[in-house]
Structure formats: structure tokens, C-alpha cells
Amino acid sequence: MAQAIGELSFEPAFRGVLPWGLIDNRPYLRSLHSHGLCLWRVGKHTQAAELFERLLWLNPSDNQGALFLLQEVRSGTTWEQCEQAEKGILPAK
């Protein structure tokens, strides 16, 4: 919903950047980040990767770590595997 509301502000052919340093861009960038995480969590890797790529295009300085997330998604890592790795839980053999 937040993403759709933010997109109402753009021209149809918008191809610019939305730098993180401009504080008014942050809510929209956060909504994209959150949407990508949700897609990844439910196993929609292709859609999540597309969203993280878009986020990198819009915010090339990558203040949100989209590149890291994109690498995880592209490698086929599931949300659960990443979560377990962060907690230091070793995968079952």
C-alpha cells in the first residue's frame, strides 16, 4: 500500500534516482525494502530480486543493504536459512 501511494507521485516514465540523503525519499525506499523482504520470506525469489534491483537503481548508495539481500535471494538462500545463519544455528546434516 505504501509503495503504491508513493508511486502516485512519479511521472509514468520516471527513471531517476531517489537519494537516501533526501529525507522525503526514505518512506518510499523503506516501503520497497519491506516489500522485497516480504516477497523473499514467502518464497517469491524472482519478484524479490526484481524489487531489490529496483531499489539499488533508485538508491545507488545502498543505504539499506539491498545488494546483500539481492545476493542472498539470487543464490537461492531461503529466508529461514538466512535467519538461522544470523542466529548461528548450523543447518541439519
Query: For residue range 40-88, what is the model confidence (pLDDT) as tens digits?
Result: 999 999 999 999 999 999 999 999 999 999 999 999 999 999 888 888 8
Per-domain residue ranges of the chain = 47-76
Q: Let me know how long the chain is.
A: 93
pTM for this one?
A: 0.85
Of 12, 8, 64, 24, give the one whose Cα is nearest residue 51.
64
Amino acid 90: pLDDT:
63
Extended strands (E) in 8-73: none
Identify whether the C-beta of residue 66 lies closer than 8 Å to the C-beta of residue 33: yes
| pLDDT at residue 3 is higher than 70 | yes
